[in-house]
Amino acid sequence: MLPKQEKRPKAVQQLNMVSPLDKAKKLKQKRRIIGVTLFLTTGLCLGFSIYQYLVKYKIKWQLPKINLKISRVRDVKSELDTAVEQLTANDKGVWSIYVQSGDWVWSRNADSLTGKEKLESVAASKSSWIEATLPKGVEVKEIIEEGSGEIRAFYQMTIPGRQILVLFKVLGGNYAESARALIPKLTEKIYWTIVRLST
């Protein structure tokens, strides 16, 4: 008897199905890269051409500026509230303050104080309580009214392109001394805050 032949497994040939898929994927990727490259090249050429045109004909172009005035107004109002609170904290009098510059209005303990129309008929003041705290060149009109237990101070400060109206009313406490001491400090703070707001 002859020995049994061992069964050898037949070599299985694997079909090459991966290869066509890889080729299609690679072809698609190459096309995409070529398309993006052409798009970027064209875009850069167009961008440089526009830039050269603008430079050649001296056309000035700027990005639009975002106006943050609303948030600045809120910041200014809260800054004024804090400053007035700090300066008048130790004073026993009741302070009413009204500030107006153009359409911008700020007040403390007052919606409006009467008497601002009186300032229109008054000449610019040569010496006032607040003159030393303001820069030179600011035209100041001043009216001081002292009455029974109160003092009123009306100021109109004029600088080029802006007019600032500040009205004070102090009731009770040692109003005459506190007004003379605090009104110049408050006016200086108000003036610089409004000037900074307008820039």
How far is the C-alpha of 109 from the C-alpha of 118, rounded, in Å? 21
Torsion angle in degrees (nearest 10) through CA of 117, 152, 74, 84? 160
Task: Examine the pLDDT at 118 and tell me if it is beyond 60.
Answer: yes
- Per DSSP, the residues of 146-181 read EETTEEEEEEEEEETTEEEEEEEEEESSSHHHHHHH
CB 84 within 8 A of CB 166: no
Q: Which range, 11-15, 43-47, 74-78, 137-141, has the best average confidence (pLDDT)?
A: 43-47
What the block records as the tokens of 147 is: 């009455």
pLDDT value, residue 67: 58
Give the pLDDT band (50/70/90) at residue 76. confident
The packing angle between helices 69-88 and 175-198, to 10°, is: 160
Q: What is residue 66's predicted lDDT score, i.e. its pLDDT? A: 63
Calpha distance 149→71 (Å, rounded):
39
Q: Which amino acid is at 95?
A: W
d(CA 76, CA 189): 11
The Cα–Cα gap between 128 and 184 comes to: 9
Structural domain boundaries in the chain: 17-61, 69-198
Question: Does residue 89 surpass a pLDDT of 70?
Answer: yes
Q: What digits encode the pLDDT tens for the residues 120-133? A: 777 777 777 777 78
CATH code of 69-198, in short, is 3.30.450.330
Instruction: Write the pLDDT tens digit of every residue in 8-58.
Output: 666 656 555 556 667 888 889 999 999 999 999 999 999 999 888 888 887
Kindly state the tokens that stand for 48.
């440089």
